[in-house]
Every structure is written in C-alpha cells, then in structure tokens.
Structure 1
C-alpha cells in the first residue's frame, strides 16, 4: 500500500556517525505498523507532562489509539491536542527508536471505527475486540474514544551506526 512521503528528510550530523545515511520513511512505516507498544506524551492543563504506554494501529498514514473518556490522556487532549508518540527498542547498540509529533484528532465515524476495531483485533488478538457504537469503541472496559495522529514531524534514532533522521510532512 502506498503511503504519504515526507516533504523533507534531514540527517542531523550533530547526532549521527560520519558513515550514517538518512533513514528512509518507507523503512519506518513497517516499524510503526508492527510496533506493539507506544508511549503517548500529552500535557496536563497545568502544564505538567503526562506519559503513558498504549496500543496503536498504523492506518492511512496515521497512528490510532483509544482511551476511556475519563482517563488523564483524554482529559489532557481537551485542552491541548498536540502529542508525541514514541516506540523503539530498549537496547543501546541495535534497532531504531521512532518519534511521531502531531495533533490527536478524534475519529467518530462508525464505519471507520469498525475498520480500526478489526485492525486492533488482528494485531493484538481477540482480547482486544471492540464493538462500535455512537462514535466510540465499546469493550469490556466500557466506551473508549479513538484518536488519530498524522505525523507532522517524525524522527528516527538508529543505533548501528548512530544517526538521527528528521522527516517533515506538509
């Protein structure tokens, strides 16, 4: 499936080994698709940061996550929809860490939510089955709002050799 390409790619020489090349966005997309855990960073109304692990689905050039409407991350999004999502490895000398910056936009179209619910179940198993009702996922824990984050800026931190690639999107 074709994906949206960045408008610019930049290898930051300050943080990259002299032999490193900029990473390709086409190589990052499968990593975003396959990663099981992401860390979502939001900002509380008083300005303090909030970070939490969650599950995501990569679809149509965006990362999607769900959350109960009374959870801290959703309450934070009511005041500030700017977020950062990170994933990667906990190793020093191998792998890639990815950072996605963008705006969390609530998805409420029931047809699209059914697509995303099916993707969650395929990726994470039947324990993550969701029905869709009234613009939200409905599961064992009750209703959950769904948000999509289309990258505005993304980073890849490669570890062998070390490099930092920044992608900008229109």
Structure 2
C-alpha cells in the first residue's frame, strides 16, 4: 500500500478582481511531473520572533509527498520539529508551484526506503555514488505532506489549487 490515502480536489485560485479570474485548470499530472523533475525546492520554515528561515534543499516527490533530508542538527530540521507548518516552492516563478503543508518525520518500510534512496541517487549523481542510504529513510526522514498546492503557467488564466483532505 502506498502512502497517499487522502482525497484531492481541484479549484481555481481566487485573486483580487483587478488581477483577473482564472478560466481554466491545470492538469494535476502536469504539476506532478514538475514536482518529480525538480532538482531543488525552496523551503520557508517558521522562526518565531524572526523572519522565516528560507533555504534550498534537495528532495524527491514520492507518492504525493516531498521527501527530503539533512542532518537533524541543521536549523531547518530543528525548526520543522518545533513548527511543522512549511511552505515550499519550485524556483521557476513563471511556472509556479507552491506547496503548503506540514513536515512529519516518517519511517519507511525497508523496501520503500530502498526505492527512495535509489531514486535520490539517480536524481543527484553529482554527489557521488550511493550517497543516499536506505537506512536513513527507514529510520525516519522529514516528509512534507501537502495540504494545498497552488500552480500556474499563465497567470491568472490557469491558476489552480489542489486541496488535500
């Protein structure tokens, strides 16, 4: 059984009247493909009393969630543990994809952890051979589970929101 058991609904994004009104919806498969193909993801973590902590991170879109990593000692991992709400966006502002969700430490079954490590090693060969190890994903890795994803390629005509229940 795969991870995503939630339902997803699609709706137009609402904007102030002077911005215009979306007239079409993007296909989820097109947005999903951009998430799968993305090399980096820009994360914004809550940092109470200060500005958000924004950082680019590597990751993989897997079963409609974003699996990423980093040492538990990094600021982003410590912030996510204290304040799990996060916003993540792809770097291209013209083909916008913004994920709003929560970070959960997730331990994967050994065969799923092997699959994730293999996909990450294939995606990031520039880091060297087998840098990503399955044991890290079996023990528990940070995962962004989306609540809402906004995307567009032609603002505002195809501004689409995907809401996960």
| Interval of TM-score (by shorter of Structure 1 and Structure 2) | 0.7 to 0.9
The answer on whether the counterparts of 2:43 and 2:86 sit within 8 Å (CA) in structure 1 is yes
1:21 — aligned with what?
Answer: 24
Q: Secondary structure of 1:69's match?
A: coil
Identify unmatched segments of 5+ residues in structure 2: none
CA contact (8 A) 1:67 1:145 kept: no
Q: Which structure carries more strand by proportion? A: 1
1:103 aligns with 2:105: no
1:85 aligns with 2:80: no
* 1:51-85 deviation digits (Å, cap 9, x = unpaired): 10011101111111101111010110121111111
Q: 1:163 to 1:146 in 2, by over 3 A?
A: same
After superposition, what is the alpha-carbon deviation per residue over 1:108-159, rounded to whole angstroms, capped at 9, x for unaligned? 23613322111101111162522243xx26xxxxxx9621112110101323
User: Could you say what secondary structure the match of 2:68 adopts?
Assistant: strand
Q: 1:156 aligned to 144, 151, 159, which one? A: 151
2:159 aligned counterpart, secondary structure: strand
Q: CA deviation at 1:39?
A: 0.2
Distance in 1 between the 2:85 and 2:156 partners?
31
Q: Structure 2 length as normaliser, TM-score?
A: 0.79
| Equivalent position to 1:52, from 50, 55, 67 | 55
Instruction: For residue 33 of structure 1, give the secondary structure of its aligned residue in structure 2.
Output: helix
TM-score, normalised by the number of residues in structure 1: 0.77
Unaligned stretches of 5+ residues in structure 1: 138-143
RMSD: 2.7
Residue 76 (structure 1) aligns with? 79
CA distance, structure 1, for counterparts of residue 108 and residue 8 of structure 2: 27
| From 3, 10, 13, the counterpart of 2:12 | 10
